[in-house]
């Protein structure tokens, strides 16, 4: 059975949607070649339904109406196949500094052991941006390993910066106000807030 994730105390229902929003721009040259460019800014967007109970309906209803200008946090949902295969024994640390804009860092294999699979959502301990690994990080052994990821590094990292993964990877978000709604009640007991959409705060 897969991991259950929560929004305001209410279980998130599968399927849920995780979208990468990174605007790209196409330009067609005179020779009909397509050139594609990005300004290098990216954010994660989540959408899902939840199971509402009497214990969670008040907070869920209020979350559709108030505090749109403030951010909140929740555990970043991991893909089920990834979550079940994370075997790291402790927090990995970087062995070397890396500047903003790179998509590879080097990890000390002398501290943590195990694997963080390709497709793992994670953060660096010095800033809030959430990244996804694009290759397995296998720290079994004594050789320091490269971790490749998307999007490129938003802020520089120093040696000994930790990698925060799994249920410790918390996303900071604001609510999408394009689809605000209340709660639909059925039979006076069950309630449905509709699709909840969140935008990573970057």
Same domain, 127 and 201: no
User: Residue 107 and residue 2: Cα distance in Å, rounded?
Assistant: 28
Same domain, 85 and 164: yes
Same domain, 97 and 151: yes
3-state secondary structure of 167: helix
The number of distinct structural domains making up the chain is 2
List the structure tokens of 161.
């910066």
Same domain, 195 and 180: yes
Same domain, 97 and 48: no
Of 19-33, 47-61, 132-146, 152-166, least confident by mean pLDDT is 47-61
pLDDT score at 34: 86
Same domain, 60 and 119: no
pLDDT score at 193: 65
Same domain, 84 and 164: yes
Same domain, 196 and 127: no
- Rounded to 5 degrees, what are φ and ψ at 44? -90, 140
Same domain, 114 and 54: no
Q: Dihedral of CA 136/137/142/146: which sign?
A: positive
Q: 21 Cβ partners below 8 Å, 6+ apart?
A: 42, 43, 44, 45
List the domain range (segments joined by +) for residue 181.
Answer: 1-74+173-202
pLDDT digits (tens, 9 = 90+) for 40-94: 789 999 999 888 777 777 777 777 677 767 889 999 999 888 988 999 989 999 9
User: Residue 53 and residue 192: Cα distance in Å, rounded?
Assistant: 9
Same domain, 84 and 158: yes
pLDDT digits (tens, 9 = 90+) for 96-127: 999 999 999 999 887 888 999 999 999 999 99
């Amino acid at each position: 059975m897969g991991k259950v994730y929560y929004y305001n105390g209410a279980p998130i229902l599968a399927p849920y949607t995780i979208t990468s929003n990174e605007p790209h721009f196409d330009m067609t040259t005179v020779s009909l070649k397509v050139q594609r460019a990005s300004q290098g800014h990216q954010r994660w967007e989540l959408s899902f339904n939840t199971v509402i109970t009497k214990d969670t309906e008040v907070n869920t209803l209020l979350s559709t109406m108030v505090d749109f200008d403030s951010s909140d946090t929740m555990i970043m949902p991991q893909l089920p196949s990834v979550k079940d295969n994370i075997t790291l024994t402790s927090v990995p640390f970087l062995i070397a500094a890396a500047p903003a804009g790179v998509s590879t860092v080097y990890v000390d294999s002398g501290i943590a052991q195990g694997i963080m699979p390709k497709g793992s959502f994670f953060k660096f301990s010095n800033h809030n941006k959430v990244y996804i690994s694009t290759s397995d990080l296998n720290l079994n052994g004594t050789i320091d390993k490269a971790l490749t990821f998307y999007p490129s590094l938003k802020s520089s990292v120093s040696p000994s910066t930790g990698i925060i993964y799994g249920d410790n990877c918390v996303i900071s978000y604001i609510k999408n106000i394009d689809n605000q709604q209340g709660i639909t009640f059925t039979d006076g007991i069950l309630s449905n807030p509709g699709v909840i959409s969140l935008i990573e705060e970057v």
